[in-house]
Structure 1
């Protein structure tokens, strides 16, 4: 039986009872709609000795504001492209919320054109300033951003697949909420793995593996699955073109960072789903359950059991993930060719 441990707000807003080593967390995009609440929630994570905030616009005010929170540790703001490497220097965890939000009718290629460059710049800066950091991307489109970052890290000789993550925790958060509401129970009582990718039909909540057992029929299961897959569009439409999911994403992102910190601190049994390099299927990157530890991914857990319909859905999404990975890697190759007269290393993934 698969259990997704945690995902309760107490991880974010209440102190841990066990001691953890002090760590530095850097938030890239700290001034944005996700970045500010994300930084606040991370500020409340015990064990964070330094919180570095970076954005292209001024972050000193945000840093000063957060420095008044009654929590141990310091908060430092960094601004502009010249401030990126100093912000990331000696970071243990780098979480990236920078980039353009998805707007109504926006095509994936349009979003990638803007945000792919963000991923490349951050991955390059991490390679120089904090090569041992755990690097977690919130920036969309995750299905392409993570392969892009992997290619850049590999080109710089700093690619460790156990340290690179696409944060898909919001899909789990939404699944727990929607299923909990449907079953008239607290979302905190729900555990469910969500595998695949982080867009549309690539998001695959395994409702057959939900605990407590979901007793709805196939029609209700299909309806819930569709809502989880299209929940991002639901928020984009509700905001009438003025943004995408920010607060719920900050909540989910802070939870994932909290889990990374618990793993770094030596806590055992920390399990999350995330988009990572994978050998579980024929897609090179996949959301799957992972056990986190001192080096990032401590153990790749096997895919949970699936119903026949879920197996069919997985087969349909894998070609999309393969194509997304190829496009992300090609994006990185093209960018690196533009920026350098020297050949792009043949060893790109």
Structure 2
């Protein structure tokens, strides 16, 4: 179904102090929403060092964001930092930005459910979406507030209602799951984590993410105990929260993962080819029949999502994805109905077996 072969090797880099002098195009504007949280501060610190960003905007309804921006502005890189404090200036924060990232609202306790996180974060995400629709409909809106399995459909419905929907512009960032998968596979195989690329599919929540261990690169790795490894990858956030004793949120790994995704996206916007990541996006074709939204491999281009692709999965991964699809559909329905207000019938839908079309003919899905 997919004529092009997607390279799974993505060079993972952290910009060095000297890298800032190598960029000839640093006019891009990136806005971080709700930037005064711990995750926001870490992300801003990382993006301030990116040679691809000309202006970094920090927005928060809390006016102490000005102090954070002033602190960051003393870092000797070419990226300029501007602060926007208070809801009345949200429109100025998103206006003309190439990329707007809404962050924060992370899981605060292992007992917190996706629905509770949705209720806590939905107003902020919807407010940001409405401002993007009115003041920057052509900008790329990246969503990291959980659960993204509900937030991305919610934003999509708001864009559709306003008549400005473009599926290329709405992206749920799931790179933190890819990073965790790479790390766990490295421990399992005894290899260098920076050399490993493990694609993920499904969603981002612990009961939605499926690591495609059968397609780990480089090839030939002896990955053992795959069932237990899947659980470790899915429970990574909860494991850290337990160590924090519910007194903090996971804010270090996500910050680096989001910054990597933003930098890859910026490279694509500036014309670089082969910019490939995993993200939660709208699906089309036979994959869309299975799940209308899902984490898959995406190729990024000058206008956002260029194409999405499903890696080949084995029987165990296919079974797990089919199991999780029921949960993902519930999250999707939660986000969509928040906007539409429609009472969707709670009927048992016949799941299309993964890897087949409606006529049960085999469909090859290779990357």
TM-score, normalization by structure 2: 0.86
* Cα distance in 2 between the residues matched to 1:152 and 1:98: 21
Q: Counterpart of 1:118?
A: 124
Q: Counterpart of 1:197?
A: 203
Are residue 66 (structure 1) and residue 84 (structure 2) matched? no
**Is the partner of 1:34 in helix, strand or coil?**
helix
Q: Counterpart of 1:186?
A: 192
Comparing 316-325 with 140-149, greater Cα deviation is found at 316-325
Deviation at 1:5, TM superposition (A): 3.3
Matched length: 332
Q: Counterpart of 1:321?
A: 328
Comparing 18-27 with 321-330, greater Cα deviation is found at 18-27
Q: Counterpart of 2:361?
A: none
Q: Counterpart of 1:231?
A: 236
Note the 1:254-293 alignment, pairs <5 A: 254-279=259-284, 280-281=287-288, 282-293=290-301
* Cα distance in 1 between the residues matched to 2:18 and 2:137: 30
**Is the partner of 2:42 in helix, strand or coil?**
helix
Q: Counterpart of 1:127?
A: 133
Comparing 150-159 with 184-193, greater Cα deviation is found at 150-159
Q: Counterpart of 2:114?
A: 108
Are residue 8 (structure 1) and residue 12 (structure 2) matched? yes
**CA deviation digits over 1:163-219, x for unaligned, max 9?**
1111100001001111112212211110111111011231010001111333133xx
Deviation at 1:278, TM superposition (A): 0.7
Are residue 91 (structure 1) and residue 97 (structure 2) matched? yes
**CA deviation digits over 1:34-81, x for unaligned, max 9?**
100101111111121111100121211111111111111311111121
Taking structure 1 as reference, are residues 47 and 131 closer, same or farther at Cα in structure 2, changes over 3 Å only? same
Which of 300, 306, 309 is residue 298 of structure 1 equivalent to? 306
Taking structure 1 as reference, are residues 225 and 11 closer, same or farther at Cα in structure 2, changes over 3 Å only? farther
2:49–2:79 CA contact under 8 A, matched in 1: no
Taking structure 1 as reference, are residues 7 and 145 closer, same or farther at Cα in structure 2, changes over 3 Å only? farther
In angstroms, what is the RMSD of aligned CA positions? 1.9
**CA deviation digits over 1:85-125, x for unaligned, max 9?**
11111100001114354323112221111111111001001
Taking structure 1 as reference, are residues 136 and 171 closer, same or farther at Cα in structure 2, changes over 3 Å only? same
Comparing 95-104 with 236-245, greater Cα deviation is found at 95-104
Are residue 241 (structure 1) and residue 249 (structure 2) matched? no
2:23–2:52 CA contact under 8 A, matched in 1: no
* Cα distance in 2 between the residues matched to 1:246 and 1:40: 13
* Cα distance in 2 between the residues matched to 1:12 and 1:288: 30
**Is the partner of 1:31 in helix, strand or coil?**
coil
TM-score, normalization by structure 1: 0.90
Q: Counterpart of 2:160?
A: 154
**Is the partner of 1:200 in helix, strand or coil?**
coil
* Cα distance in 1 between the residues matched to 2:84 and 2:107: 22
* Cα distance in 2 between the residues matched to 1:24 and 1:139: 21
Q: Counterpart of 1:145?
A: 151
* Cα distance in 1 between the residues matched to 2:78 and 2:87: 28
Gap runs ≥5 in structure 2: 343-367
